[in-house]
Structure 1
């Protein structure tokens, strides 16, 4: 049974999940590659796959290190399956890289729970989000998460509220220096990066409708149990669980204002929804229901391929 196999965290799960991700990546990349595959193209695709794979391990590290779920592998399985359900997310290199840096930032923000190295963690988080913004502008929405973390973790020293600005300024100085050296117009670069759209017509395709419906409906259902369960968590861990909910909200904001509206923006929901749904799977007592839920998620990508 799938649920039993992943119910305990084991080294073999990392191999299985890596192979699953490789299969999803190869199948979807071959569908869109129109140029002949040479060494350069192969290396670029290999590099992007490694970033996707590294994202899985960074995500797993932040979850296990901060006890956001129990000791199982549901979180990484769901994370990879979401790529399969909405493969548009894995096809755009810039948004994949941006999401990787957002995960690095999220890892640092959640670790504020320990109240150690606060300034360093705040600088790192704002720095990583700034880097993510260079690849996908609307990653900047996650700057809200930095200040939300300051409030949720009750960090009252006003000096700490200036640290994120320093992290942003550091990346800005590096970027401006690069643009000046390469004689790139700063104003044109800035205006070219900013774009938004409230036209959702691009999402009106059967694969995206089915994939997003499964993702959001299961996620919303699990969210009710997740919120209810926060009170049962240790007091020191509750802020971290609240931060995950804010991450979901910010991910939805990006989907709403992002310019492409082709499904790629859903990638920012994968990590928080994986945590929320894993917490739900952990409290399901009926094994048949848990098994059915996992099989629906597993078979959804197959059904989408047939559309």
Structure 2
């Protein structure tokens, strides 16, 4: 049933996903919480909800515009159903804005394959990344994804390796000016240094440790399907998928080094994993019952998170 619903990209599928996500967001931010609300808080929360929905539509836009997927909503539905299982993400504010700008940066990297306005896209990507770094310092690690795109599409021109540095520098100068003018202090550079504290904190919570285990099982399954996915993909699809995989690799590094709660960091794994799931689901060799089992697992994760 769910496979049939999300096997196309008709408006009804997006409407259902948007309503489902909005309900989960309202429950987590207005019903489950015991704190008081004012008009400003309500409007700010609704603004965060709008950004979350933009992330969902941005995901669908990127995979369609860059022809990573066919016309379906498997990736968008996987993202929504997986992210709802992590309610702390739904309560975030600065974090979701940071990730939104990170995805805007990533979108410009994917568009490098057209070989048009290359320098502008590189600058835009690095500048948008710098805005994301304002909120989450460890996002500077994603500069590696920009250079991965440069190496893949235009490594013959050395100027292309300089432009990302310029874009980051512009964002850094703007950030430094803000601190000096409005807070009268320098940026705390120690916040940008990796701090590896081991992986034990991933399993401090039984709830999120179990959900992480679920995500890792899905990831392992998809990794075993990658040879088939790449064999069936066209050249431009293979290139985009390679960038997505590298983006996932850096995302995992950020999860390990930023020492943030797993309940928040799960989005780093969920977003690129959703794209790979969409590619796996569109394979003719992927049986319908396998897709239904995946969706049942997604729903089971939501129920487990709600009840625990």
With the shorter chain as reference, the TM-score category is over 0.9
Shift of 1:155: 3.4
Matches within 5 A, 1:129-144: 129-144=129-144
Shift of 1:195: 6.6
Give the alignment's TM-score, normalised by structure 1.
0.93
Q: Which residue of 2 aligns with 1:198?
A: 197
| 1:241-269 CA-partner distances (Å, limit 9, x unpaired) | 10011011111101111122332112122
Mapped to 1, the partners of 2:31 and 2:257 lie a distance apart of 28
Mapped to 2, the partners of 1:73 and 1:36 lie a distance apart of 37
Work out whether 1:300 is the aligned partner of 2:301. Answer: yes
Q: Which residue of 2 aligns with 1:244?
A: 244
Verify the 8 A CA contact 1:126 1:167 in the aligned structure 2. Answer: yes
Shift of 1:205: 1.4
Give the alignment's TM-score, normalised by structure 2.
0.93
Shift of 1:208: 0.4
Higher mean displacement: 260-269 or 18-27? 260-269
Shift of 1:304: 2.1
Verify the 8 A CA contact 2:229 2:280 in the aligned structure 1. Answer: no
C-alpha RMSD over aligned residues? 1.8
Mapped to 2, the partners of 1:252 and 1:61 lie a distance apart of 24
Mapped to 2, the partners of 1:123 and 1:177 lie a distance apart of 20
Q: Which residue of 2 aligns with 1:184?
A: 184
Matches within 5 A, 1:22-171: 22-30=22-30, 33-171=33-171
SS at structure 2 position matched to 1:69: coil
* Gap regions ≥5 residues in structure 1: none
Alpha-carbon spacing, 1:43–1:193, altered in 2? closer, same or farther (3 Å): farther
Give the number of aligned pairs. 306
* Gap regions ≥5 residues in structure 2: none
Shift of 1:6: 0.8
Higher mean displacement: 285-294 or 158-167? 285-294
Mapped to 2, the partners of 1:238 and 1:110 lie a distance apart of 12
Shift of 1:197: 4.6
Mapped to 2, the partners of 1:255 and 1:285 lie a distance apart of 30
Q: Which residue of 2 aligns with 1:290?
A: 291
Shift of 1:33: 3.3
Mapped to 2, the partners of 1:195 and 1:184 lie a distance apart of 26
Higher mean displacement: 265-274 or 238-247? 265-274
Mapped to 1, the partners of 2:58 and 2:304 lie a distance apart of 29
Matches within 5 A, 1:207-246: 207-246=207-246
Alpha-carbon spacing, 1:34–1:214, altered in 2? closer, same or farther (3 Å): same
